Amino acid sequence: MATQREGFALDPVTFEVLKNAFITTVDQMGEQVLRTCYSFVIYNRDFSSALNDVNGDSIAQGNYDIAVHVGTLHYTCKDVIRYFGDDMHPGDVFAINDPYAGGTHFPDVRLIRPVFVDGKPIAYAQSNGHWSDVGGSVPGSFDVAARDMFREGIRITPIRLWDKGVFRRDVADMIASNTRDPASIIGDMLSQAEATRVAERELLRLVGKYGKETVVAGFADVQDYVERAMRQRLLALPDGVWETQDFIDRDPAGGEGMIPVKVKMTKTGDRVIYDFTGSHPCIGSLYNSAFGSTFSAVAAGMKTFFPDLPLNSGFYRPIEVIAPEDTVVNARWPVAVTGFLMPFEKIMNSIYEIWSKIIPERAIACAFNLEYLLTGGRDLRSPAKPIFMFYDWLPGGWGGRNGRDGCNVTTACFGTGLQSQPVEGQERGSPILTTEYQILTDSPGPGKWRGGAGVRKASVLRQADKTVISYICDRERAIVWGIQGGLPSMPHGLSLTRSGSDTVEWLGSAFSDVALREGDNFSRPTGGGGGFGDPLERDPIAVREDVADDYVSLERARKDYGVVLKVIDIDLAEYEVDVEATTAERARIRALRREWLAEEPETVAQKFRAGELDALDLVRHYAVILDWETGKLLPNSTAQFREMHAKRASAYWAD
Amino acid sequence: MTSLRVAVDIGGTFTDICILDEDTGLIRVAKTASTPDPIDGFMTGLREGDVVLADVALLSHGTTVATNALITRRLPRGAMVSTEGFRDVIEIRRANKEDLWDTYKDVARPYIPRRDRLTVKERVDAAGKIVTPLDEAGAREVARILRKRNVAAVAVCFMNSFTNATNEQRMKAILEEELPGVAITASSDVMPEIFEHERFSTTVVNAILAPVVGTYCERLGERLREGGYKRDLLLLHSGGGVMTTKGARQFAARLAGSGIAAGAIASRYIASQCGFPNSIGLDMGGTSCDVSLAWEGKSRVTKDWYIEFGYPIRFPSIEVLTIGAGGGSLAWIDEGGSLRNGPQSAGANPGPACYGRGNTVPTNSDANVVLGRLGKGLAGGSITLDADKARDAVQTGVADKLGMELHEAAEAIVRVANANMADAVRLISISRGYDPRDFALVAFGGAGALHGFALARELSIPVVIVPPNPGVTSALGCLLVDVQHDLSESYIQSVATADVAAIEARFAALETEAWERMRHEGVDDDQVVMERTVDMMYQGQWRSMAVPVGSPIGSLDAVVLAFHDLHQREYNFRRDGAPVDLYRLNLRAVGMVPKAALAEHATGGARPEPLEHRPVWFDAPAAFDTPVYWRPDLPAGAVFDGPAIVEQLDSTVVVPPGARATVDRYLNIVMRMEG
């Protein structure tokens, strides 16, 4: 055998073989869950799997795990170990979903099986899946009006679900009975428990082949290995302190003004500290994050810049997170946290912004804000009038990149494995007809490298009764931003057109329990990604191609990029760049754009109300934020938005 | 006059020819470089194989022409017409990414750009009711624009057309009228199944490949006719059957993945010939390794596949798992200090360090040279292997960095490569509920037989089979197939409320369509076999499993029981009391092509003298003095024990210590662990 290597207990071959075997084991768990699950959320890939060591630390996570669970699976395993201690036996399976113990939110339920060798656990197999419902006051368990967890769903602190191989029906039924879909919940318990058994079988095979000591040494080695690789990468990068902030739109229980999430990153040698001091106290909605989710956002954000490193606790060791208690990034029981993804994605994008400066070849501007739409009621298509639940989420645009446009229509940054749902499936399951689901022209944030395009989806409620709609989104005010001179995209928010009416009501980006009637049309866009670099430096030919494909309109090609196009033949989608007019238009914009950003916000708001400017003009050229329904100026939000716009956009313009 | 069956399998690097003499059952093979116009390589290969086209009774062909057209985007201008509001279904996809973390790795662009995706007012709802009739004036306007754009193919993709195709078919008729000569494909014809992206994507791929495949078939057909060939050309499709050129034009997307299927078919056939209905195929070449699985004589089939991530092709395809492990895969030490293998590869050029073409990073081939498993040359001496360069690469690239002795380092490289392949085999076998101990491993491709036995040992697979011509085994696969069409349609219904008569009627309709296709292809009625399956799942689940059913179906009770059993076997649990749903009806129509028997060789020939003895390292610090045989010298019935090396033109077989090798009457080398 090879000589002993520093930092490794195992020889290099056994190490590499075991490392890959651990990852394959976790992937096999994922495969099993995907093929047998009941929750349509899990089916669309909102799940993750892990192997944890006897301390609960992560040995391996799957290649296809959803980002948002990264960095939380070791916490939940540790909590199960803390609670049950030595009271564990072969055949036991435990469950936990507790966000206050490091979980994400109540729908993410983890099943954890200890793997025994010689009468002692050597590891834990963990399968985490987003159940379709865990009770609470609204279908799908996302209540925008919740301020504490009692409206959100059932909190599962560590419980024993299988006792020495026997399924505890009493406990399982009690949990399932607190949800809207008991049969599926039991199905998902079986599916996830079986996945942990797959991992147990594989680990026991490895123990049979290599011996317990070797396999257990491998658990430690793979974590040390990732830690070492991570530290080496960090060492090679410059030290420094970087600060930024992003915002949640508002506190429904507070006054006007956006809610800051502040991030200060200090990198020294092979360590990074993320300090969230200065972030806003917990707010009066479900848009709060408990510590586990905040840690997860940090880990997932960093992983984006080190995409090839395997995920396990070794990756987390060089990272320290300081998050003051009782803020939006460290909420404690019983504060509502089911909308933790809102602070989560603000942290993710802040980390993108910071690391874009350190590793410019991986730079990326802000991505659209994830969103959920929940509609439920009685389906009158069938005489039994069954309950229906239309639970939808959309893809959108990702940020412009260094030398490349952003990705069009991609799943939100909380997990790019998540699939969007087929309309034909939704229309079968719910009395809803979708009238439009397509790319939204002009949604991309302008830039030298523009953001990716978002979409618009509009649907009509058909034969239904007792139906309500809720919407969970953000960045109606804290608009998706560009970097290095790039511009923002557009406000998120849902519009409602009542049956028989021509009036479009703006309901915005967060509301709950609005009554819907047959024939009502609800429509919402997703933002494009933020732009990267000055849009006036974009190649006019690229703008022409975007217009030919309707990613950008003729009008906004001129307004945002200063590119003037002549229509050659609309049938052939042929346009020509008017070079002279483009040069002149770009010069005109350059001469004026700093003045626009300094213009009195109330004057700008008046122009909006008079129809002289539209919302895209306001956010892109004037950095002014309104109540989009009334056109009323939001002075505090505008001041906050302008401050960041100056740092991210105008500071980078060459002239 | 002789009567030949000829298979031509065109890959990225080589064009392989396999020629079977129907009278003697003897096979001969040829190999030539693939050419920019693949038809040139095709004809060269026939010449090199001394094939007289007038003597050929059957010519079958595996081609990468469809796959390459997709990957390189060398496609004709195609357009898509869809329901107003749904122009971007194929760009939105399911919106997910293949690489979850690398924000600079993008999903490929759609095959039809946004400007060429037009819409028309129309709508059908989930129940099949026409909510908005087709706007005929709008449809004519779309046709006018497309005519002006001079598109070569149009995909018509309307929402819910799988429940009611009236609008979609009317749109197709208008386009056919307005755009004579342009290939028009409607989604309800190609794949009448729920879920718009999967149906539209399949339809789009089918539409844009139709002109590519059509032109190719025409050009190739002409050259073959000029050469004197009088029969139909048979094209291998991803489902593991063949189509005539008529069928290929209509279902062009089925040719995507054609090449990969061939190896799986050959491996299944060879294993069956040796008496093993359960087999795992290991096709290892220079840059990658394809793993396939056959159970009870049938290849595993999947509908979840694509050529480029994000653009599913929902025609059934033989399930093949490809990983980046080949002879040219690079061995390297990463920053965490771990010994890695692949997926980067030195490819064929510059190739492994031992090729002496400038690469100095060690590869699997270099490790095999150092270990003495590979000799001084490949491909009958056309490639010389430089052992010094291999040693230097392994020494500096791995041994020095890990503080290992040279041979130990080479052994380490091979072990990591084998472990990676073993993980791939586990994913396709154990995680599907199969126990490797019930299987035989068929090792082929240029490098398969070098690693096959060690891999089998790792997985506890008891038998390894190396076919007579490992390097051209895929071409053999093309020779062994039947005409095959796969039809399906959505049928979403709970078992409790399902009406057996209605299901029977639906199957009857599918069978009528299948008979039509078979006759269109000129298959005699008495050669046609139909196989039915029903996709089922527990109510509330999202993935279904195909359960074979009889014709007529009879009672659903037996079908449900079969479903519980299948669920138990694959997923290790069942819910006997739980309600079960039907999801889809599938029909496979097979037009049997009469098979010629491969020659059987009399056993009992004497074991030949080895060419030489050379030192070969196996898991030990010291080398074994190992005999090296020349495979053409090995007669049927020869038995020998490892350690031994068998060299042949297109491959090298490693028989490690403890293994016993037998040459069977088809000249396969069959290896088993002794003791």
Which neighbouring-strand residues pair with A94? Answer: A112, A160
> What is the topology classification, in CATH, of domain B484-591?
Dna Ligase; domain 1 (3.30.1490)
pTM: 0.94
**Domain limit, last residue, from A533, A556, A587:** A533
The tokens for A618 are 């306001």
**Domain limit, last residue, from A229, A261, A282:** A229
B537–A contact, CB cutoff 8 A:
no
- Binary contact (B91, A229; C-beta < 8 A): no
Q: Complex ipTM, two decimals?
A: 0.95
**Distance set, CA A387 to CA A31, A177, A519 (Å):** 31, 16, 18
- Binary contact (A12, B337; C-beta < 8 A): yes
pLDDT-derived band of residue A1, with 50, 70 and 90 as boundaries?
very low
Closest CA to B321 of B191, B469, B404, B425: B425
Q: Is the dihedral of CA A473, A474, A476, A479 positive or negative?
A: negative
Check residue B553 and give left, alpha or beta (phi > 0: left; psi -120 to 50: alpha): alpha
CA dihedral A288, A293, A295, A300 (to 10 degrees): -120
CATH 3.30.420.40 at B4-69+214-258, yes or no: yes
- Closest-CA residue in chain A for B128? A428
Residue A339 domain-assigned?
no
Burial of B406 (0-12, 13-18, 19+ CB in 10 A): middle
Residue A137 domain-assigned?
yes
Q: Within 13 Å of residue A342, how many CA atoms lie on the same side as its CB?
A: 32
Q: Which of B100, B147, B418 to mutate against chain A (most A CBs within 10 Å)?
A: B100
Residues 6+ apart with CB under 8 A from A192: A33, A37, A109, A111, A127, A128, A129
pLDDT, tens digit, for every residue of B514-568? 999 888 888 889 989 999 999 999 988 888 899 999 999 988 999 999 999 999 9
Residue located via tokens 């626009």: A596
Rounded Cα–Cα distance for residues B171 and A335 (Å)? 56
B131–A contact, CB cutoff 8 A:
yes
> Among partner residues A43, A422, A550, which is closest to B114 by beta-carbon distance?
A550
Residue A57 domain-assigned?
yes
- Closest-CA residue in chain A for B310? A419
- Binary contact (B131, A433; C-beta < 8 A): yes
Name chain B contacts of A179, Cβ cutoff 8 Å. none
Answer whether B591's CB lies under 8 Å from B523's CB: yes
**Domain limit, last residue, from A229, A256, A291:** A229
Range of the structural domain that residue A174 is part of = 12-229
Domain count, chain A: 2
User: Quick one: pLDDT at residue B531?
Assistant: 94
Helix (H) or strand (E) holding B450: helix B448-459
> Among partner residues A8, A307, A398, which is closest to B337 by beta-carbon distance?
A8
Residue A640 domain-assigned?
no
Rounded Cα–Cα distance for residues B285 and B449 (Å)? 10
Residue A298 domain-assigned?
no
- Binary contact (B95, A20; C-beta < 8 A): no
Closest-CA distance, A466 to chain B, in angstroms, reads 22
Closest CA to B16 of B46, B59, B58: B46
pLDDT, tens digit, for every residue of A301-338? 999 999 999 899 999 999 999 999 999 999 999 999 99
* Ordered mean pLDDT values, 10 residues apiece, chain B (675 residues): 84 85 86 88 92 90 91 93 98 94 94 98 97 98 98 98 97 97 94 93 97 95 93 90 89 88 92 94 90 92 91 93 90 89 85 92 96 81 86 96 93 94 88 87 94 93 95 87 89 91 94 91 88 92 89 91 91 88 93 82 84 91 93 93 92 95 95 83
- Binary contact (B571, A307; C-beta < 8 A): no
pLDDT, tens digit, for every residue of A437-482? 999 999 999 999 999 999 999 999 999 999 999 999 999 999 999 9
